[in-house]
């Protein structure tokens, strides 16, 4: 376990390799699982604000769910607020093109319609953040999932450590200084 600033970082984040391979997995992380992507409190307000610009990217079912239920859902059994899901388990923000899942929020961002790329939990995936309710410390962990096996193989092929794959998400969440400290620690571990 590494301590970077006031965060605990599991070693596998710097030791394992990972690089998404959408041609292999088809973006399965956007429809597999029992829960939507975790959302931070301030992201709910952002989603409500940008939704008029995102809805045109989404299908009719997603539009209806968002209009009737809102931009987020509370998953009571895990006590987490996340993105709503369709009956099929798809994230409501999922858009399929040529059989590959993309994020409608991200598409609106890249088209210049909004200035919010996507929820930070998606930006960081497969890194997950857990906050200890007693100490307040955040722990960053690698969420291993068989659907990401192609990403693991692709990461080895490209020599892409997991922490580098999620670099932009880490900088967005914790800042450049955090990332630089993590990178220095990772390089030190590789030398030793």
- pLDDT per residue as tens digits for the range 51-72: 999 999 999 999 999 999 999 9
Q: Beta-carbon neighbour count of residue 180 at 10 Å?
A: 12
Give the domain ranges of the chain.
1-18+126-192, 25-119
CA atoms of 56 and 18, how far apart (whole Å): 32
- 10-63 tens-digit pLDDT: 999 999 999 999 999 999 898 888 889 999 999 999 999 999 999 999 999 999
Confidence of residue 192 (pLDDT cuts 50, 70, 90): low
Question: Which among 66, 152, 150, 146 is positioned nearest to 105, based on CA atoms?
Answer: 66
Q: Verify cis geometry, omega within 30 degrees of 0, for the bond prior to 126.
A: yes
> Which residue has tokens 């040529």?
98
Q: What is the mean pLDDT of residues 104-124?
A: 97
Average pLDDT over residues 151-161: 96
Q: Give 3's contacts (C-beta < 8 A, 6+ positions apart).
A: 9
Q: How many CB atoms lie within 10 A of CB 84?
A: 19
Do the Cβ atoms of 117 and 109 come closer than 8 Å? Answer: yes
10, 1 contact by CB (below 8 A) = yes
User: Tokens representing 104?
Assistant: 């409608």
Q: What is the mean pLDDT of residues 136-164?
A: 94
Mean per-residue pLDDT over the chain, rounded: 94
The DSSP H or E segment spanning 149 is: helix 149-158
pTM of the model: 0.91
Which has more confidence, 80 or 165? 165
Site of tokens 């998953």: 75
CB 170 within 8 A of CB 182: yes
């Amino acid at each position: 376990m590494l301590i970077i600033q006031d965060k605990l970082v599991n070693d596998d984040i710097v030791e394992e390799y990972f690089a998404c391979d959408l041609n292999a997995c088809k973006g399965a992380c956007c429809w597999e699982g029992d829960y939507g992507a975790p959302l931070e409190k301030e992201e709910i307000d952002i989603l409500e604000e940008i939704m008029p610009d995102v809805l045109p990217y989404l299908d009719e079912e997603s539009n209806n769910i968002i209009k009737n239920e809102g931009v987020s859902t509370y998953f009571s059994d895990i006590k987490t607020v996340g993105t709503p899901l369709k009956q099929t388990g798809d994230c409501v923000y999922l858009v399929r093109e040529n059989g590959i899942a993309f994020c409608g929020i991200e598409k609106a961002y890249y088209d210049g319609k909004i200035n919010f790329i996507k929820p930070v939990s998606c930006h960081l995936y497969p890194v997950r953040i857990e906050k200890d309710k007693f100490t307040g410390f955040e722990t960053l962990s690698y969420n291993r999932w068989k659907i990401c096996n192609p990403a693991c193989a692709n990461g080895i092929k490209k020599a892409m450590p997991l922490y580098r794959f999620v670099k932009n998400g880490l900088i967005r969440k914790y800042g450049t200084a955090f990332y630089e400290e993590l990178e220095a620690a990772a390089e030190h571990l590789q030398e030793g």
